[in-house]
Amino acid sequence: MKNIEFDDLEKQILLAQKELVSIEHEGKTIGYYYPIGDREAAKKAKEELDRIIEKTLHPTGLTEERIAELRSKLDYEAAKKAAEKLDILMEQILAQTGLTEDEYVSMFMNAVEDEEECA
């Protein structure tokens, strides 16, 4: 995958041909560009994606604009670091308790179910 700055987007898209391009602005990835090989397949994929989005968004009351707004505020680097720390912590807990990940998650799921039954 090729990384480019937002300011170079137009020029790089023309040069990209079939290569995936990661678009960055101020050092953060803000999107991806996937060149279209087969326009008809791309059109069908977009229509299917639109159907999935409509089915997903309607029950939640969210809009595409609200999701885009929320995503734009995410600090992906901080989220990645937090996920890495969580993975390390999970490994330590599993090593200390001797539980498998499924057993550990099951404990919390059972606690949530018990709490819902009491409410």
DSSP 16-69: HTT--EEEEETTEEEEEE---S-HHHHHHHHHHHHHHHHHHHHHHT--HHHHHH
pLDDT string in tens for the chain (119-residue length): 556 665 666 666 655 566 677 778 787 888 777 777 777 877 887 888 888 888 887 778 888 788 788 878 888 888 889 989 999 998 999 999 998 988 888 887 776 666 667 76
Nearest to 2 by CA among 13, 10, 77: 13
CA distance 44 to 89: 43
Type and span of the H or E element at 68: helix 64-72
Domains of the chain, by residue range, sit at 1-35, 37-74, 76-119
Measure CA 4 to chain center: 20
Give this prediction's pTM.
Answer: 0.38
The whole-number pLDDT of residue 96 equals 93
The whole-number pLDDT of residue 14 equals 58
The whole-number pLDDT of residue 16 equals 56
